[in-house]
């Protein structure tokens, strides 16, 4: 069974997400695990000074980056980097571009294999939505929202940054869908560990919310009602 930490957002340069970073690292079961960072959603805009990567490295992780838009990338390289990592962190950005690129390069295939072998999967914003059945992202022209098909590991629709009014449009948009939704504030994460769901929060807190398709998409604060996790 696999492990996923899907974060609604948060800053990694000011200590806000330090405790969450430590938790993600702990899930690998290794003292100095190797993490692979995948910045596809930001159109591969990332370097060795990335705040998230530096945060992991300060806790003793080794790090590598997988650039999928570079001309020299091959399927064999993608496979090797993904399946040799102890943990994977996917950056935020444009979810539509991310999923189209992953499909075209067969990255999706190897990420699913990594999940099955127990690699810790994590990410923020688009890097969180990608693990769900669908994500709700403002990735269309003009910042319009769309529901994007994702990897379908966690069988819900995900929305990040839910402390923002801009993203709270999810509450109405999800009505009529055939799946329940999970919305996460910045600093909050929805997680699965070997079949068990739970939530995490950074040092500045943040909540997760469940929109139940079976009760007309009733909104339930998971942090205040953790018993709901036992029914998922």
Residue 60 has phi, psi (to 5 degrees) of 95, 5
What is the average per-residue pLDDT within 63-70? 96
Helix (H) or strand (E) holding 80: helix 75-83
Which tokens sit at 142? 């003009």
Separation between Cα atoms, residue 160 and residue 93, nearest integer Å = 11
Pairing mode, strands 3-7 and 87-90: unpaired
Q: Sorting pLDDT into bands at 50, 70 and 90, what band is 1? A: low
Q: pLDDT digits over 114-124, tens only?
A: 999 999 999 99
Q: What is the pTM of this model?
A: 0.97
Architecture per CATH, domain 3-231, reads as 3-Layer(aba) Sandwich (3.40)
Please tell me the predicted confidence (pLDDT) of residue 47.
86
Residue 35 has phi, psi (to 5 degrees) of -110, 140
What is the average per-residue pLDDT within 110-139? 97
Separation between Cα atoms, residue 58 and residue 55, nearest integer Å = 5
Whether the pLDDT of residue 152 is over 70: the answer is yes
Helix (H) or strand (E) holding 37: strand 34-38
Separation between Cα atoms, residue 182 and residue 189, nearest integer Å = 10
Q: pLDDT digits over 89-107, tens only?
A: 999 999 999 999 999 999 9
Separation between Cα atoms, residue 147 and residue 135, nearest integer Å = 6
Q: pLDDT digits over 158-203, tens only?
A: 999 999 999 999 999 999 999 999 999 999 999 999 999 999 999 9
What is the average per-residue pLDDT within 54-68? 97
Q: Say if residues 181 and 228 touch (Cβ distance below 8 Å).
A: no
Domain boundaries, the chain: 3-231
Separation between Cα atoms, residue 190 and residue 199, nearest integer Å = 5
Q: Sorting pLDDT into bands at 50, 70 and 90, what band is 48? A: confident
Q: pLDDT digits over 22-33, tens only?
A: 999 999 999 999
Whether the pLDDT of residue 85 is over 90: the answer is yes
Task: Please tell me the chain's helix, strand, coil percentages from 3-state DSSP, rounded to the nearest 5.
Answer: 30, 30, 40
Of 89, 36, 82, the C-alpha closest to 63 is 36
Task: Tell me what percent of the residues of the chain surpass a pLDDT of 90.
Answer: 95
């Amino acid at each position: 069974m696999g492990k996923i930490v899907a974060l609604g957002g948060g800053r990694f340069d000011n200590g806000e997400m330090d405790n969450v970073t430590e938790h993600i690292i702990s899930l690998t079961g290794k003292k100095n695990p190797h993490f692979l960072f995948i910045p596809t959603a930001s159109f591969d805009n990332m370097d060795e000074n990335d705040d998230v990567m530096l945060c992991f490295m300060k806790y003793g992780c080794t790090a590598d980056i997988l650039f999928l838009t570079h001309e020299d990338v091959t399927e064999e390289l993608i496979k090797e980097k993904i399946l040799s990592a102890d943990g994977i962190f996917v950056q935020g950005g444009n979810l539509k571009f991310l999923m189209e690129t992953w499909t075209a390069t067969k990255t999706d295939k190897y990420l699913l294999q990594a999940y099955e072998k127990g690699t810790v999967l994590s990410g923020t914003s688009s890097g969180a939505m990608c693990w769900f059945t669908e994500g709700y992202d403002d990735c269309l022209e003009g910042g319009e929202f769309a529901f994007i098909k994702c990897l379908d590991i966690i069988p819900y629709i995900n929305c990040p940054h839910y402390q923002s009014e801009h993203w709270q449009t999810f509450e109405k948009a999800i009505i009529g869908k055939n799946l329940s939704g999970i919305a996460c504030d910045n600093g909050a994460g929805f997680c699965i560990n070997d079949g068990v769901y739970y939530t995490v929060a950074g040092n500045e807190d943040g909540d997760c919310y469940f929109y139940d398709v079976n009760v007309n998409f009733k909104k339930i604060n998971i942090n205040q009602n953790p018993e709901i996790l036992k029914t998922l």
